[in-house]
């Protein structure tokens, strides 16, 4: 074999030699985000096209030090609100199971490897490496958190049954509450990502109007019940929703069948969250379901809005 450019005999390419047909290596830069975590970035134009060029950031996840610190801050905040270490442990366990449900779904639908982030004073976040390719996958990922998160109630009920300590029931109720609140169709909660595409299929402005209206009501609820941090967080998300354009150009829209299934799954998941929340309160109520419902509304400070307070 002869090299036509030099006229010299070309030696066979060994395993140590670069493959001339391989795509150029992506440009990798590092940017420090705060005092601890480092994120590796790859520019979109240099990114290999095997995933459609949609991966712009290689996310290494939350650093262990910051994850521990965030968990301690969140746990301290919950303890300050509830005054119960058992409820704090139950809520943190339920939060991790909820987010792990998102992680499983993200990895299943090609968005992984997904990571879990703990956000001080607010909760958790599951983040994939790339967005969903279809709105249907986005709906399933959004509902996977609340649906899977209800599983965390089972071991708490088992501990209550074994020990008779009612605090474990209250902890189980808070776990159900985490999943139920996330079903609210208010950005950036899971319900907005699950129900939004269904409304957008009718008309994009219907999605925006519904999410902003419900999100505004949730912000008002947070402000009037003293949940200031949550209210500010949701208010900022609402501003982002107002600035966001209509449509999801990077995702395949729902088909008619998928829209119907999305609505059905949303209603079933929401109903399951309500049922589990009431079920955890039934052993603490002397008035059956009505008493459990009244207790749940009182915890959420919704009794006075609905005229059920005494």
**Which three-class secondary structure state does DSSP give residue 176?**
helix
Q: Give me the pLDDT at residue 231, please.
A: 79
* Mean predicted confidence (pLDDT) in 163-190: 91
Give the dihedral of Cα atoms 134, 137, 143, 144; nearest 10 deg: -150
CB 172 within 8 A of CB 90: yes
Angstrom distance (rounded) from CA 310 to CA 304: 9
> pLDDT (tens digit, 9 = 90+) per residue, 84-142?
899 999 999 999 999 999 999 999 999 889 999 998 888 888 999 988 999 999 999 99
CB 200 within 8 A of CB 230: no
- Residue 61 — pLDDT band, cuts 50, 70, 90? confident
Angstrom distance (rounded) from CA 109 to CA 134: 10
Query: Would the pTM of this model clear 0.95, i.e. be above it?
Result: no
Q: Give me the pLDDT at residue 264, please.
A: 97
Does position 17 have pLDDT exceeding 60, yes or no? no
């Amino acid at each position: 074999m002869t090299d036509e450019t030099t006229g010299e005999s070309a030696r066979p390419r060994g395993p140590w030699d670069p493959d001339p047909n391989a795509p150029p290596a992506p440009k990798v830069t590092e940017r420090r985000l705060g005092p601890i975590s480092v994120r590796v970035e790859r520019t979109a134009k240099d990114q290999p096209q095997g995933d459609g060029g949609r991966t712009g950031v290689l996310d290494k996840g939350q650093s262990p030090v910051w994850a521990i610190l965030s968990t301690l801050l969140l746990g301290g905040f919950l303890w300050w609100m509830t005054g119960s270490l058992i409820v704090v442990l139950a809520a943190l366990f339920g939060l991790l199971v909820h987010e792990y449900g998102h992680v499983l779904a993200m990895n299943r639908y090609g968005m992984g490897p997904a990571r879990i982030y703990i956000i001080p004073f607010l909760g958790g976040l599951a983040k994939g490496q790339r967005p969903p390719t279809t709105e249907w996958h986005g709906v399933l990922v959004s509902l996977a958190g609340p649906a899977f998160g209800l599983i965390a109630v089972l071991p708490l009920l088992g501990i209550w049954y074994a020990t008779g300590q009612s605090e474990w029931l209250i902890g189980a109720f808070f776990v159900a509450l985490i999943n139920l609140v996330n079903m609210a169709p208010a950005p950036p909660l899971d319900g907005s990502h699950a129900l939004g595409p269904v409304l957008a299929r009718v008309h994009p402005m219907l999605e925006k109007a519904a999410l902003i209206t419900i999100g505004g009501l949730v912000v008002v609820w947070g402000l009037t019940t003293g949940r200031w941090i949550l209210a500010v967080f949701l208010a900022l998300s609402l501003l982002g929703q107002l600035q966001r354009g209509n449509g999801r150009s990077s995702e395949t829209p729902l088909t008619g069948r998928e829209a119907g299934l999305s609505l059905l799954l949303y209603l079933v998941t929401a109903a399951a969250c309500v049922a589990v929340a009431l079920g955890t309160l039934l052993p603490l109520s002397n008035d059956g379901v009505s008493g459990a419902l009244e207790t749940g509304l009182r915890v959420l400070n919704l009794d006075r809005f609905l005229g059920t307070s005494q």
